[in-house]
């Protein structure tokens, strides 16, 4: 690598401690107004930078990578998921891709449990009643929800986040079931007191709450399609803090409106921030603006991982969080 400082372009505003450290280490261009960069702006950044630091809202496909100059050598993604980046094409063009795995496990698991409680205990409805001034006092039958203790939780995707959800759910007295591409080691299953289902269909039909915790890949796109959603109990709740594309959102919306599914807690959506407007009309749905990783601690740790990946690359070594196509 050159002895000159690396040129780094960051597409969105990052926590102040992260930006300060980047300015100390690199020749960095920051996004002071936090406006989402256009495709043309990102393409231009890839022509002039050694390193691009994008986030989940930046779609970097093969067409954009074809516009990158020879200077770009690393895409240091600010986030764990990389389905918005064409990693295979990047590698073919000699561009490494890194991410920030493991940092947001606890934050996302916390939000998963929060959504379960919000939906089953009808918390948003209670908040709306209080803030609107419509509450006229306690009633034995008002805002009746359901307890989660004793209920069956099905976890779709038993990676680090799925396992963290299982530990929290067990503390609430839930029975943990899971479906995963690979079965966990017996010791891990025993620790989590989790029951493995080889058939997602069979698990989906038996659980009271289904938590989506798998990444978005070609094999998981619409994994919860209309057919599988119809297998769920009519009073079941589905929670998604992973990727919106895993659920057929239109099918889910139709079934929620028809009372064929009891409720949903969604932090991610199939079309990014373009949320199906019919979902907003439903009292049994809790919608959040992709807040699963939104803690100060987590976002700073993400930035620290990005810096370590860039600095390690600058020192001539393999970034510790290098993503290769076989990982996807």
Q: pLDDT digit of tens for each residue in the chain (328 aa)?
A: 445 899 999 999 999 999 999 999 999 999 999 999 999 999 999 999 999 999 999 999 999 999 998 999 999 999 998 989 999 999 999 999 999 999 999 999 999 999 999 999 999 999 999 999 999 999 999 999 999 999 999 999 999 999 999 999 999 999 999 999 999 999 999 999 999 999 999 999 999 999 999 998 899 999 999 999 999 999 999 999 999 999 999 999 999 999 999 999 999 999 988 999 999 999 999 999 999 999 999 999 999 999 999 999 999 999 999 998 765 5
Distance of CA 235 to the CA centre of its chain: 25
d(CA 21, CA 62): 31
Q: pTM score, two decimals?
A: 0.90
Residue 176 half-sphere exposure toward CB, CA atoms < 13 A: 22
For 138, phi then psi, to 5°, come to -70, 145
Contact indicator for 54, 11 with CB cutoff of 8 Å:
yes
| Domains of the chain as residue ranges with CATH | 7-101+295-327 (3.40.50.720), 105-287 (3.40.50.720)
Lay out the sheet containing 322-323: strands in order across.
27-29, 7-10, 51-53, 74-76, 96-98, 322-323
For 7, phi then psi, to 5°, come to -90, 125
Contact indicator for 128, 103 with CB cutoff of 8 Å:
no
Contact indicator for 23, 309 with CB cutoff of 8 Å:
no
């Amino acid at each position: 690598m050159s002895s000159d400082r690396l040129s780094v372009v960051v597409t969105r505003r990052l926590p102040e401690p992260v930006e300060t450290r980047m300015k100390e280490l690199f020749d960095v261009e920051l996004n002071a107004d936090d406006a989402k960069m256009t495709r043309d702006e990102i393409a231009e950044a890839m022509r002039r930078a050694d390193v691009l630091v994008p986030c989940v809202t930046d779609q970097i496909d093969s067409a954009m990578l074809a516009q990158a100059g020879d200077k770009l050598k690393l895409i240091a993604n600010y986030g764990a998921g990389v389905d918005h980046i064409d990693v295979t094409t990047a590698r073919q063009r000699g561009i490494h891709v890194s991410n920030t795995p493991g940092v947001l496990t606890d934050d996302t698991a916390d939000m998963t449990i929060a959504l379960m409680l919000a939906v089953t205990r009808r918390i948003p409805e209670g908040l709306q009643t209080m803030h609107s001034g419509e509450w006229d006092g306690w009633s034995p039958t008002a805002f009746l929800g359901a307890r989660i203790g004793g209920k069956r939780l099905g976890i779709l995707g038993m990676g680090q986040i799925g396992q963290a959800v299982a530990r929290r759910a067990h503390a609430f007295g839930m029975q943990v079931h899971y479906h995963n591409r690979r079965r966990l080691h017996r010791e891990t299953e025993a620790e989590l007191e989790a029951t493995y289902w080889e058939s997602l269909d069979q698990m989906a039909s038996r659980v009271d709450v289904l938590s989506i915790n798998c990444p978005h890949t070609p094999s998981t796109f619409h994994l919860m399609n209309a057919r599988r959603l119809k297998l769920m109990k009519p009073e079941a709740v589905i929670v998604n803090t992973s990727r919106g594309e895993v659920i057929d959102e239109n099918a889910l919306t139709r079934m929620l409106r028809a009372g064929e599914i009891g409720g949903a807690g969604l932090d991610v959506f199939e079309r990014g921030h373009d949320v199906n407007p019919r979902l907003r009309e439903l009292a049994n749905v809790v919608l959040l603006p992709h807040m699963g990783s939104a803690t100060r601690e987590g976002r700073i740790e993400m930035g620290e991982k990005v810096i370590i990946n860039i600095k390690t690359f600058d020192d001539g070594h393999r970034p510790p969080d290098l993503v290769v196509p076989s990982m996807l």
